[in-house]
Structure 1
Amino acid sequence: MKVKARTAHNGFLSRLVLIVVGLSLSAAAGALVQSKLGVKQLAPEQLQLLNQAQERDALYLQQSVQHLAQRVGDLQAKVIEMEQLGRRVADSAGVMYTDPEVTNHMEMGEDYPLIGNAQDLGRQLDDLNHSLSQRQDWLTMLDTVLSHRLANQARFPTTHPVDVSYATSNFGWRRHPITGRQKMHEGIDFSAPVGTPIVAASGGIVTEARYLSGYGKTVEIAHGDGLITRYAHASSILVRLGDVVEKGQMIARVGATGRTTGAHLHFEVRLENQPLDPMLFLPGGHSDSLIAQAEKTE
């Protein structure tokens, strides 16, 4: 992208220089012809006035060139700024900066053919400046949207609630270890010694911090938009109702309270009170595909 943008604007500058040089040569040639043709007929005072007029024209042309060059420099600075912003946006979106859909939107130069007179050149520079401003506004808006999306992603429970590498009982239908009947297991279990720290899988607000029938000492954390995590069978609870917790903050310790056959953490993820497989979120599961699907529905 950077090479294409610089190539386009190098071509732009080259054409601008050719036009300016052409205008200068044209003006100089016209003045020279007029002076050669009329030098014998002009009085000294008239010749002096003609020379002064030519000097004024030359100075005006030089000032115009300098002004246009300054504007081109300003536009180049904007292009560099847009490139930097575009890289940040592309990185946030997981899009390669050289992807066609990115470079097509950022392509410049060919949309603005130059015409060989100063008035048209100035008008085209104004158009180019307006177009660059619009693209910059669009990229800034996209950067804001992606930043908001990344903040939403941060709400997902993607941190392991205990320092255990595997689950001893997965989500889904299973034979209940106490009743022996087939029953839906609405979370996953991590066996760990009593007292093992339990941390919040994501930041949120504590909505339960008490003993619940069957679950024992339980903590629930709301993460927004109906998404909650539940941590059950704890030996002790370290947070209170209404506390704001951060991802990775210790909230309880593993225990064997409630209806259980041994010390472990029962971990659930629920959306609008419907159980979801926690492995869809946790590292090593399918969190990337789940997040991608969630982004498409926003």
Structure 2
Amino acid sequence: MLFIALIQAINWLDSKYNGDVEEKKSLINLKLDLNLGSFQKNLDIYAIQIGELQARLMRIDNQSQRLQDFSKEKLKPNQKLPKADPAKVPGQGGPFVSEKNFSESELQAFINQLTLDIEKHEEHFNNLEAIYLKQTVLKDTLPNATPVNAPYNSSSYGWRVDPLLGVRAFHEGLDFSSEVGQPIKATAAGIVIAAEVTPEYGNMLRISHGSGLETRYAHASKLLVKEGDRIKKNQVIALVGNTGRSTGPHLHYEIRMNGESLDPRKYLKY
């Protein structure tokens, strides 16, 4: 509305001073500046949206590769193609398909549809990974227990608005809102591979469950186990806190396979 009002005001001034050439030039320049500013703002929004989609597609590619590794399905090597003779001009052809030019509304509609398609693929791959792990990992080392007696109601897995910076970012775990000092339990049996303090995670534990599977427990007020300790499923390993990059007391919980985050919601039992 503000933009339309400014344009109307400029048009009124234009008609009032239509005899002044220099005035008309300045009015035209002002119109161009306003339109270009609006166009640039829209371009910035599209760039952010497309950047997020690219990141999500990369995650899907990584998931696809992990699933191939899981099932040990190796692609057969391609047959070697004969080398082209540089002395010969290669034949070219095919139907002519012109490059499509999108309007702003068409571009936004395309981005919205692509976002929906990507969400479906993300859900599909997350389910496939969960099915594979549940079928192949030993019962005690499958991270399907609840880490703390609280719902994951503060922040879920996936894209969200970062609570500190206010920009969209990928959240690689679940946040369980709880009180300081509440017990944190291991969701599966394993070995502590790190008991450390970091600027991002605060007091954090990393537990290996074998075969590249790992769980992480962050922002603790106190760690009750140390590196090298063997852990049983449902053993109390730390206490809820507010350390590191955190806005309030909670447990940040992650599941990772070979360093890549998995959706913990696919494994938790309630």
TM-score (norm 2): 0.49
Larger Rg: 1
Structure with the largest fraction of helix: 1
